[in-house]
Structure 1
């Protein structure tokens, strides 16, 4: 049994806890929060046995085998680094770290320490995306794809009132690209590999981070358009165009209806039966890696490729990018 501690008490951590409850061989034993009262309340509400407010002591205790890092983006690297140094496996909520260089450092440290570090990119492990990959030969060769994720954030209302909530805080690696843009980028990399080149533009908000943006990823023979926003919303489908047909995808974070339309008008629907909470699949992958016998390198390479694309978009959009060449 993999004994897990969670770092963070946000909604995403609560959703993660629900996913863990559906995966055999792993359980949450401890909730960590710097706010002891908040940690206790969170643990009690979710039925988790204990809570802690001293991360170093928890990591050194021998009471846990792994941690889930669900804290603000800017804290991920330091907390993961501490866990790895203590010989504890790490599952990091997306984006794993603000830069590819930081994640590569964590991967190297984990290899040296003999533990697993994995990014919790839920759509990469969703069976819907695997179905899309299986259908690509029907429309090949691919020439153009368009993926997007736009969801108006209620916290943007706080920005409009002059406040700086965590998700829009530059000191915590906030912004739409880190929060939502990584999903279509991850789908592109999972389906087509690392792009040859990336460019993009960002729409800034008052706090100094991006609220929306768009990018183009160049591949041999095709391009992928990516869009993302936390200051608007969209329900448009995602699309992959090939010379023989088109694949339409309802939701890039959790594909549940995939439609293939060929040039001759033939249309086939491919509904995907999957868990409502698709974080289950990332938890299962992490548990399999921790249990041994599987290689995390492909997962880690995807994460690095996405973070390099993020850096390219930020640079093209005029944001300062630290720690990247």
Structure 2
């Protein structure tokens, strides 16, 4: 049994905890938070008895095998490094770290310590994205892809009121690109590999973080358009255009309905059964890596390619 401790008490950490309950061989044994009362309230919500306010003491105790890092993005690298130094496996909420260099350093540190470091990117492990990959040959050579994720954050109202919530705090690596843009970026890189070139623009908000943005990924023979926003929303489907047809995807974050339309206009819909909480797939992958059942090199390569694209967009 893989014994986990969580770092952070946000909504995404609660969603992660729900996913863990659906995966065999892994469980949450402890919650860590700098605020004891907040940690206790969170632990009660997810049904965990143990709460710690001292991460280093918890890591040194020898009774947790792994940590889930769900703290603000800017804290990921430091907390992960402390866990790795203690010989503890690390599951990083996306984005793994603000920079590719930080993640590469963690990968090397984990290799030396003989532990796993892993970024949870739920759509990269979703069976829907695998189905999209299987259908690509039906549309011939890809010429244009367009992926987007726009979801207005309730915390944007705080920004409009003159406040700086964590998710829009540039000092904590907040902003739309880190929070949402990594999903379409990761999908493009999972499907097509690392791009040859990346260009992008960001729309700043009052805090100095980005509220929205777009990017163009250049590949041999085609381009992929990426758009993202936390200050607006979109309900449009995603699309991949090939020379012999087009694939339409209901949502790049969790593809469940994938339609292929050929040049003759015949449209075939493929429906994918998937978990309501598709974080279960990334949790299962992490558990397999910790058990030594898979090689993390492809996971690391995708994460690094995404982070390099993020850096190019940020300029």
- TM-score, normalised with respect to structure 1: 0.96
**Which residue number corresponds to residue 71 of structure 1?**
71
Q: CA deviation at 1:314?
A: 0.4
**Which residue number corresponds to residue 87 of structure 1?**
87
Q: Give, in whole Å, the separation in 1 of the partners of 2:176 and 2:40.
A: 31
Structure 2 unaligned regions, length at least 5: none
Q: CA deviation at 1:37?
A: 1.2
Structure 1 unaligned regions, length at least 5: 316-325
> What pairs with 1:15-164 in structure 2 (closer than 5 Å)?
15-164=15-164
**Which residue number corresponds to residue 319 of structure 1?**
none
Q: Give, in whole Å, the separation in 2 of the partners of 1:189 and 1:163.
A: 35
> What pairs with 1:182-193 in structure 2 (closer than 5 Å)?
182-193=182-193
Q: CA deviation at 1:49?
A: 2.2
- TM-score, normalised with respect to structure 2: 0.99
Q: Give, in whole Å, the separation in 1 of the partners of 2:12 and 2:200.
A: 28
Q: Give, in whole Å, the separation in 2 of the partners of 1:49 and 1:192.
A: 44
**Which residue number corresponds to residue 321 of structure 1?**
none
Residue by residue over 1:139-159, the C-alpha shift from the partner in whole angstroms, topping out at 9 and shown as x without a partner, is 020000000000011101100
SS at match of 2:84: helix
4+ aligned runs moved over 2 Å, structure 1: none
Q: Give, in whole Å, the separation in 2 of the partners of 1:31 and 1:87.
A: 18
Pair 1:180 & 2:180 matched: yes
Cα-Cα RMSD: 0.5
Q: Give, in whole Å, the separation in 2 of the partners of 1:206 and 1:82.
A: 33
SS at match of 1:247: strand
SS at match of 2:3: strand
Q: Give, in whole Å, the separation in 2 of the partners of 1:304 and 1:159.
A: 31
Q: CA deviation at 1:266?
A: 1.4
**Which residue number corresponds to residue 211 of structure 2?**
211
Residue by residue over 1:3-44, the C-alpha shift from the partner in whole angstroms, topping out at 9 and shown as x without a partner, is 000000110010000000000000000000010111111112
Q: How many residue pairs get matched?
A: 315
Q: Give, in whole Å, the separation in 1 of the partners of 2:174 and 2:252.
A: 21
